[in-house]
Every structure is written in structure tokens, then in C-alpha cells.
Amino acid sequence: MRFFGRPVYFLAVAAFLGGAVLLRVADPFPVQAIRLLAFDLYQRMAPAAPLAEPPVVVVDIDETSLKAIGQWPWPRTVLAELTRKLSEAGAASIAFDVLFSEPDQSSPEEVVKRLPPEQAALVTASIGSAPTHDRAFAEALARSPSVLGLSLSGGGAPLPHLNAGFATAGDDPRPFIPNFAGAVANVPALDAAAKGLGSINWLQDRDQIVRRVPLVLRVGDTLVPSLAAEALRVAQDAGSYILKGSNASGEEAFGRSTGLNHVRIGALVVPTDADGAIWLRFRPSDPENFVSARDVLAGSLPARSMEGRIVLVGTSAAGLLDLRATPLDSAVPGVEIHAQVIEHILTGRSLTRPDYASGLEIAGIVALGLLLALVLPLVSAGIAAILGVLAIGGILVGGFLAYDWAGLLFDPFYPALVIALLVIGSVLYTFRQAERARAGIRRAFQYYVAPAVVDEIIADPTRLELGGEMRELTLLFCDVRNFTTLAEGLSATELTSFINELMTPLSDILLEHRGTIDKYMGDAVMAFWNAPLDDPDHARHALDAAEAMMDAMVGLNARWQAAAAERGRAMPEVRIGIGINTGACCVGNLGTARRFDYSAIGDEVNIASRLEQLTKEYGLGVIVGEPTVRAAGTDGLVEIDRIQVRGRHGVSRIFTMVPDDAEPDFVEAQQAFAAVLPQQDPAIWREAFYRAKSSAPARFAGYYQLMLERLSARGGLGGEPSPQITIDL
């Protein structure tokens, strides 16, 4: 296939790939959803393995704890005791995934506010200067490695003072980090007492599934760490974070500001996206990693179960509405996601979507799409489908291996979808081209071969070799006798009608007997068998066609003569002569680059033509060459003479068909006459000749008259026998 031979096809491919690239660059939500679906499937196929000794413990305010201690919110004194017990158990840091934005309503001073004045005065006098519940909780927070949560929002109050500092290397990443207007903080005393404050915000996609978790957010120009990041910082007793942006030392951005690359938390260096978030490789939710808050308060935990571990306090109770969806679970407690973030960082897991991912995916779509567009039209639709499946399979497998082996997220679904559509289009194009080729074959052969043969060629075009090949063919030539005399009495219109009326039924007979019509030559037609498709019985089919053609002439003559009689005209009998021969010929598309025909050439073709001409001399309707008789058998045939083909050694026998009205002993008598043709004894000739002639049908009269004249003229009846006829190729 030449590249410029199908401009419409390649323009369509270019337009399709261009549209696919533009759609990917625009990246609307449906395209994003396809990409996220792939990433979720990766996680389901190969989730993170559970840890034998998790570095994080989740203290769960579960249904059991609520039944034992009371409904939420609990008094802050209970939380103070919980904090003290966790600190005494050796927790490296204690992070609360809970907001304490209002004072403890169970604290006496808050209860007083809701009492009538007389009762309020009595209670106030009785409590004196006892510390508030919030103060008790604050004191416990101050004495422990504690972290409280903040909820950043579009409104809210200003940020409280953050204990953590931030240093940046490279370009300022703030323009890339999600920004909020304010925060919902805790009671000021609690925020001031805690060792760290971190955001509990999520980065949920439009389908409300948590796939990425921010390590850094901001309110205006102030950077805010996440709750998980603060728990790690406090656990390491680190003072600040180091944010490494584009064009920092060791970071290649080629002069462009591309956002954040890494966040350093104490001794931990965490790769991030440009906006400071990390992709989590989730593990399935495991309730065994949870410890009930009731057990902690009751002091029933195993010894050293908290020592050196990061503790997250949160809730799995459905009524407290802190449930989130992940790629693996439809609903998990939010605190467990914070725990998995910490596990992800501490175990050194890496799951990132590189900055170059989108560019590489687009380049892959274009390169693979163009390659397939060039290759697919060259192959069959089946091979094209296989190549398409292999290409799509390679994309899908490659994307999964990048995830599983290297922790890299590449979108396989959108490129695979584009390639699938391209392959489908190309296969349809190839199929359409094949259908056009079949239609071309049908148009090319429907007037020359039988419909059944056309169907076989279309079903298996490989059986049709164009360009010429040597095959054994049986050839048939048919010509009208005395056509010139017939034509003289007809007008041009009548002559055209006559030829059509003659050739149509004769052609139908040829096609019905699996013949291939080579060409029409005025009042003559040439046909052959065993091409373009194999026909093991080609010789017999040719003989049957010749017999049917001779029978058809009886009905045609009757019709023409009746029509002529109605017009008051005479119509002579129309007779045809048929020559049949079998032998090796060259058959195929023969001619020039500008014009060619599906035809056959060779000596055997010439012999068949000469045999047709001999029908005039012998006065017979059909003459068949000896090779055809060897291939088809002698059934219904008798030998009539022996001829010499100039340029070939030896003589060839020629045969004709036995009419249906022949007497029973005619075949035997004619065979006996043919057998003595080479004999030199005139007496043998005479006896065999007259015996055959006496039993011959009427249509053999011309043949015997010819033989009689030949024998008489050359002394055959009283001298030497006449020699056989010689024909030229």
C-alpha cells in the first residue's frame, strides 16, 4: 500500500488522533473518570500488603465505647484521661481526628450557663475554682506528644498559631497548593496546648472517593500540614517541614515552575504531586488494627502495645458520620485513611503520577495510532483485529506493571480506548475494502463464470491467482455455421437481436456447467474449465455443456422459424460447430497495464479452435480432442478420424458425440470403422465403412460423405488409403 494511495483514510486517521489528543489535553471529567477507574482497578488487583507490625494504632471511639461511656461528645475529662493513658503507654504521638471547636458542654461552668439564676448561684458557689474540663484536657495535651485537627474551609476563623515551620527549596510551591479562606479550629486553649495542629481535609474526586491525600494545604500564604504529617513530625520531635519545589537542587524542571516535588518531614522524604498530595496505595480495611477506646480507659491493653507507635484517635461509629470511600472499600473510618497515610510514608511505599505522565500517554497514543494506521490496511481484518488486541493488551499490561513494579501511575484506559476505536475503524475500513474487492471480483466474473463459482472465489480469493499460471484446462470453441449468409438477410437491429438470442442461452449453459467464458468473437464464443477454480471433472463438464448447447439449438431453431413464418419470411436452420480440447495452458490476467482480460493462451487453445473449424469439414456438430476423451472417458463418444498436428510427433484421434437417435449397433460399427482407418487394405475399409454408414443417424450423413469422397479420390475404395488431415497450431 502506498501512503498517498488512500488520502481519505489517512486524513480520517489524522483527524481522529488529533481529536483524541485535544480531548485528552482538555481532560474533561469523563476522561478523568476513565483514568481514575484504571487506577482503582490497579489497587483492587494488587493492593498494599497488610503489615505484620503496623506502626500506627487506631484508638476507636466505637459503638462499644459509646455504650460503656455514654453518647458523644464525651466530657473532656474522659479525653484527658485517655490522653494520659496513651502517653503513659509510650505512644510516639497522639493525633485526634476529632474537632473540639466548642467548649465542653458538660463542664460545670457551661452547665451553670443553662440553669436558672438561683440554681446557677448555688452551683457556682459549690464548684469554686475547680478547673474546667477543657483545661484538664489541655493540661493532658500539653504533657503528651499530642496533635489536634483543623478543618480548613471557604470561611471560618483565622488560623491559630501553628507550631510547625516551613522552609522551601526551589520555586515557591504556594501557587500550586490548594488554598482556603479560613479554618474551623479547636477551643483556643486546646490548640495552644497541643504540640501540633494538622488539617483533616480530604481531596475527594467528583465520585467522592479518596485516592489522594494532601500533606500540605494553605490558608492565604500560610502553609498548613495535614494531620498525618503532623503526627509524623511530632513523633520525630522535628521542628519544621522542608518543601522541595521545581528547579531545586536535584529537581529538573528546565526552568519552568511546576510545583511541589517532595516534602521532608524530619528524616522522612515523601514524593508528592505538584499540589502537595500523595497517591495512596491502599490496603484493605482491617478492624484488627483498631483498639477500642473503652479498653484503653479500662487499662486492659497488653503491655507495650502502644510503645513507640503513632496513635490516632477517631471513630468508626456510623452515627458520627466519619466514613469515607476508597478504591478498595465503600466505607471506611476517616481515621483509618490517616493511618494508612502514615503507614504509606513509614514503609517507603511510592505511588506517584509523574509530571511527564500526560505527555507520555499522548505521545504513545499518537505513535502507536500512526503505526497501526499504517500497518492495519496491509493485513486482513482478522490479523488487524489480532494486532489491535495485542496493542491494547500491551497498553493495559504495561500500565499495570508500571504500577506494581515501579509505583508509577499511567493511564492505560484512555489510550487503550483510543487505540480500540482506531482499530475498529481500520478493521471496518479493511472490511469495506475487502467487500469492495469481492464486489469487484463478482463484477469481473459474474458474466464469465457460474454464480456458484463466483461465490467460491469470493469465499476464498487465495484460490484465484491473477497474473498467469499454468493449469490443465478443457477448452471449448463454438461458432455459427454460414453466419455470413445469415447476416446478409438481416438488418443491423435484427442481427444484434439474433446474436443476443443465440448467445444468451448458450452462455447460460456454459455457466451452469461451471465453465468460464473467455471472450465473445462476433458469432463465436470461447470458454474453458478448471480455472479460476479447480474442477476435477472439467473435461466431463465441458462435454455435458456441448451436448446441452446442441440440444438448445433445436428449440432455438424452432422458435426462429416460427417467428419468421409469422412475418412471411424464410429462416434457414442455424447450426453451430463446437471444438473441445484439453491440455496445459497459461491462464490469468493477460494483456497490458492499461487493459487486460482473464484469458487462456497456449497450443491447446489453438488446437481447440482448429477442432471447431474441422466441424465444417466433417459435417458434425462437435469434435473432441483425444486428451479430453482420456480425461472424461469414452462414454457417449465415438472416434471419427486421426489427425496430424504440425510440429508434433504421431497422430491424434478425434471424437464426436453419439446422438440420442443412434441405433444400438452404431457405436460398435463406428468404433470398428475408426479402428481400421490406419489400415492399408482397401477391403477392410470398405466393409467397415459401409457397416458404420448403414447404422449411422442422419446427422452423420455429411461425415460419411466426406469419408467416401476422400477414399474415392485417393483410391481408398480401389487403391491406397488417403492420408490423415494435418492441422497447424
Minimal CA–CA distance to 95: which of 228, 4, 260? 228
Look at residue 719 and tell me whether its pLDDT is greater than 60: no
What proportion of the chain, given as a percentage, has pLDDT over 90? 57
Q: Average the pLDDT over each of 397-411, 446-460, 480-494, 556-570 and give the range with the smallest value.
A: 446-460
The answer to whether residue 599 scores a pLDDT higher than 90 is no
Give me the residue label for grid cell 483410391: 715
Whole-number Å distance between alpha carbons of 454 and 447 = 10
Range 517-536 burial, b when 16+ CB lie within 10 A, else e: bbeeeebbbbbbbbbbbebe
Residue 75 DSSP label? P
Q: How far apart are CA 687 and CA 691, in angstroms?
A: 6
Burial of 726 (0-12, 13-18, 19+ CB in 10 A): exposed
Contact between residue 313 and residue 97 where contact means Cβ atoms under 8 Å apart: yes
| Confidence check: pLDDT of 124 > 50 | yes
Compute the C-alpha angle 412/251/277, nearest 5°: 55
CA distance 571 to 560: 7
Average pLDDT, the chain: 87
Closest C-alpha among 356, 350, 313, 349 to residue 333: 313
The CA angle 336-340-345, to the nearest 5 degrees, is 150
139: enclosing H helix or E strand: helix 133-142
Q: Is the dihedral of CA 211, 213, 214, 219 positive or negative?
A: positive
How many CB atoms sit inside 10 A of residue 134's CB?
25
Comparing 251 with 186, which gets the higher pLDDT? 186
Q: Which of 638, 618, 645 is nearest to 709 (CA)?
A: 618
The mean pLDDT value for 347-365 works out to 90
| Bridging pattern class, strands 637-645 and 725-727 | parallel
Give pLDDT, residue 720.
46
Given this model, what pLDDT does residue 724 score? 62
CATH 3.30.70.1230, the chain: domain bounds: 468-604
What is the distance between the alpha carbons of residues 223 and 218, in angstroms, rounded to a whole number?
Answer: 4
pLDDT reported for residue 161: 92
Residue 488: its H or E element? helix 483-488
DSSP string, 563-627: HHHHTT---PPP-EEEEEEEEEEEEEEEE-SS-EEEEEESHHHHHHHHHHHHHHHHT-SEEEEHH
* Side chain identity, residue 440: G
- Other beta carbons within 10 angstroms of residue 18's beta carbon come to 11
For 468-604, CATH number out of 3.30.1490.20, 3.40.50.2000, 3.30.70.1230, 3.90.1150.10 equals: 3.30.70.1230
Which pLDDT does position 344 carry in this prediction? 94
Average pLDDT over residues 65-93: 94
Residue 426 clears pLDDT 90, i.e. is over it? no
pLDDT of residue 350: 84
Residue 203: enclosing H or E segment and its boundaries?
strand 203-204
pLDDT in tens, 462-485: 555 556 789 999 999 999 988 877
What is the reported pLDDT for 114?
63
Confidence of residue 594 (pLDDT cuts 50, 70, 90): low
Coil vs helix vs strand at 643: strand
Cell of 606: 489453438
| 144-185: pLDDT as tens digits | 999 999 999 988 788 999 999 999 998 999 999 999 999 999
- Helical axes 29-45 vs 381-406, angle rounded to 10°: 70
Query: The pTM is what?
Result: 0.64
Kindly report which listed range (73-77, 190-194, 425-429) carries the lowest average pLDDT score. Answer: 425-429
Omega within 30 of 0 (cis) for the link into 532: yes
Which tens digits make up the pLDDT trace of 47-64? 999 888 899 999 999 999
The C-alpha atoms of residue 206 and residue 183 are separated, in whole angstroms, by 23
Please give the Cα distance from 620 to 526 (Å, whole number).
18
Q: Is the pLDDT reported for residue 129 higher than 70?
A: no
Q: Which residue has the cell 509510650?
A: 90
The confidence score (pLDDT) of residue 342 equals 96
Residue 251: predicted pLDDT: 63
Who has greater pLDDT, 678 or 79?
79
Distances (CA, A) of 508 to 7, 33, 386, 401, 529: 42, 63, 43, 65, 14
Average pLDDT over residues 338-345: 95
Q: Are 200 and 227 in contact (CB under 8 A)?
A: yes
Report pLDDT digits (tens) over 528-563.
999 888 899 999 999 999 999 999 999 999 999 998
Distance between CA 268 and CA 348 in Å, rounded? 9
Residue scoring higher pLDDT (655 or 437): 655
pLDDT at 661 over 60: yes
Between these two residues, 273 and 445, which has the higher pLDDT value?
Answer: 273
Tens digit of pLDDT for each residue in 408-420? 999 999 999 999 9
In this structure, of 90-99, 273-282, 584-593, 657-666, the range with the lowest mean pLDDT score is: 584-593
**In 261-376, which ranges are continuous DSSP H helix?**
293-298, 334-346, 357-375
CA distances from 172 to 118, 224, 242, 262, 310 (A): 60, 15, 12, 13, 31
Per-residue pLDDT, averaged over 622-630, amounts to 96
- Tell me how crowded residue 229 is: count the other CB atoms within 10 A of its CB: 30
Q: Residue 504 contacts by C-beta under 8 Å, 6 or more apart in sequence?
A: none
Please report which residue ranges of 46-131 form alpha helices under DSSP H. Answer: 63-69, 76-88, 108-112, 117-127
pLDDT of residue 491: 80
Distances (CA, A) of 346 to 46, 93, 309, 349, 582: 19, 14, 11, 8, 89
Looking at per-residue pLDDT, the higher value among 200 and 254 belongs to 200
Euclidean distance between CA atoms 207 and 324, whole angstroms? 11
Across-strand partners of 525? 478, 520
pLDDT over 70 at 94, yes or no: yes
Burial track 324-362 (b if 16+ CB lie within 10 A, e otherwise): bbbbebeebbbbbbbbbbbbbbbeebebbbebebbeebb
Pairing label, strands 637-645, 651-657: antiparallel
Residue 188's pLDDT is what? 94
Which triple of cell numbers denotes residue 220? 492565604
Give the range with max mean pLDDT: 230-234, 300-304, 375-379, 439-443: 230-234
What sign does the CA torsion over 716, 719, 721, 726 have?
Answer: negative
Whether the per-residue pLDDT at 4 is higher than 50: the answer is: no
Question: How, if at all, do strands 216-219 and 179-180 pair?
Answer: parallel
